[in-house]
């Protein structure tokens, strides 16, 4: 099992419950693909480096999970079609 991190930037204009639903949906995609969510970090609302879909702010979340090597590609494919996700990135974390 490798350790991965999924970074999500969500629309800042949606309600708290809708934002929580998107986050739960992303965690569900990870577990359905065979991964195990270990930690979720919420960084809150931050200013974006550049305008994305006519927005200057977004909510940042970082989901750490353990999974096999094929899981990140499956998760990215599912997250790509989620509404209210401005940007996402899934990376493998180093063991060091």
Token duo for residue 91? 């990376």
Higher pLDDT: 16 or 95? It is: 16
H or E element: which one contains 37? strand 36-52
| Predicted confidence band of residue 96 (pLDDT cuts 50, 70, 90) | low
Query: pLDDT above 90 covers what percent of the chain?
Result: 90
Q: Where are the domains of the chain?
A: 2-57+65-86
- Backbone dihedral region for residue 15 (phi beyond 0: left; psi -120 to 50: alpha; all else: beta): beta
Class of domain 2-57+65-86: alpha beta
pTM over 0.75: yes
The pLDDT assigned to 1 comes to: 87
Does the pLDDT of residue 46 top 60, yes or no? yes
pLDDT digits (tens, 9 = 90+) for 23-43: 999 999 999 999 999 999 999
**C-alpha 89: how far from chain center:** 7
> Which pLDDT score is estimated for 94?
81
Nearest C-alpha neighbor of 71 from the set 19, 21, 2, 11: 2
């Amino acid at each position: 099992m490798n350790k991965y991190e999924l970074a999500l930037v969500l629309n800042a204009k949606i309600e708290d419950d809708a934002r929580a639903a998107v986050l739960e949906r992303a965690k569900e995609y990870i577990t359905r693909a065979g991964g195990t969510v270990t930690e979720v970090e919420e960084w809150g609302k931050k200013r974006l480096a550049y305008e994305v879909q006519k927005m200057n702010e977004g909510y940042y979340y970082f989901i750490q999970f353990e999974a096999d090597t094929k899981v990140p590609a499956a998760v990215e494919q599912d997250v790509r079609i989620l509404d209210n996700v401005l940007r996402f990135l899934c990376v493998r974390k180093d063991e060091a």
